[in-house]
Amino acid sequence: MEKREVYFDNSATTRAFDEVRDIVAETMTVDYGNTSSRHMKGVEAENYIKTAREEIAKTLKVKDKEILFTSGGTESNNLALIGTALANKRAGNHIITSCVEHASIYNTTAFLEELGFRVTYLPVDHDGHVSLDALREAICDDTILVSIMYVNNEIGAVEPIEEIAKIIKEKKPSVYFHVDAIQAYGKYVIRPKKQGIDLLSASGHKIHGPKGTGFLYIDEKVKIKPIIYGGGQQKGMRSGTENVPGCAGLGLAAKMVYTDHDARIDKLYAIKDHMIKGLQTMDGVTVHGLTGRDSAPQIVAAGFEGVRAEVLLHALEDKGIYVSSGSACSSNHPGVSGTLKGIGVKDSLLDSTLRFSFGAFNTEEEVDYCLEVLNELVPMLRRYRRA
């Protein structure tokens, strides 16, 4: 079997589009001004920021001024939670989230608990969907914020965002609804105004944009405090010299992923379905969560009975195949996945699950190669483990 390089870890990060690379290079070496400078170089830089903000706002059908640039998803999530909690603490001290959120949410809510806020963690069902009944029961007079992810980063579960928003607004209209859309932006057509979303986080390097870039959509009616102070850039909401190359690249990536969007997503689902069908023919392999269009187009999580995930990951790496054994954002801190525990995965698969995640540059032929390698490696590794 000829060794190939296959990158199936796109939920960790993506290869940038060539056009994104080019605009980043241009704004680092030609149009490299500081947006706060009053000369023409500064004006040129400011135009890149303005264009990027406009392009992102168009993808969401929101106002340009409602897009705030950040350093990525983690900062966006921190600002959404800490900024709204501090700005609204007189109205209440209760926050609701789920038990399957990304570390940048649950570590932030842990910090807020230290400050005296009370946090409710909603359970999920076997498919990873938040309990709507538990949400109804949890909303009370002191609730000020609900934060639920759009797409789970480990198994690809898609949360019922519009139903959640409806319940929130029916029970207590003043409660803000934050959505971590880091794995959803670029994959779904998102309309915050129609879907009842008040704040939304996104990250550039998940959509073939630059690392270290992201944005937070903040509905103009939301009461929020900054968490970074300084020179007053971005109307005082996020001080610090703007990352012109990053923002320019992010804006272009956003425009590109929403161009021919249906075709892009159809391609991802075709790759995903091909992968799942192949995995389902293998003995002792369990695909977690829902399949097909009931789950996100880019993520497949599968448990390999009798094989440690880390061992299989490195065996695949030796064959040129790159995958993840969990959320890459926390993969340097090994531990049992809260998501897998939350959906009731049996103990024997908790340390035997890999995530395959796809992007714009992947093909079904790469899936065939990966399946061929898995069919060779898994039986061998099982025998080795038993020995």
Residues serving a catalytic function are 329
DSSP 206: G
Kindly state the greatest CA–CA separation across the chain: 71
How far apart are alpha carbons 153 and 156 in whole angstroms? 6
Helices (H), the chain: 18-29, 40-60, 73-78, 84-87, 103-114, 132-138, 161-171, 192-195, 244-257, 261-280, 309-318, 338-342, 347-350, 364-386
Characterize 64-101 residue by residue with b for buried, 16 or more Cβ atoms within 10 angstroms of its Cβ, and e for exposed.
Answer: eebbbbbbbbbbbbbbbbbbbbbbbeeebbbbbbbbbb
Q: Letter for the amino acid at 187?
A: K
Question: How far, in whole angstroms, is CA 233 from its chain's centroid?
Answer: 26
How far apart are alpha carbons 177 and 200 in whole angstroms? 9
Bridge partners for 285 per DSSP? 304
List C-alpha distances in Å: 196 to 123, 162, 219, 318.
22, 7, 10, 46
Question: For residue 28, what are its two tokens?
Answer: 């680092």
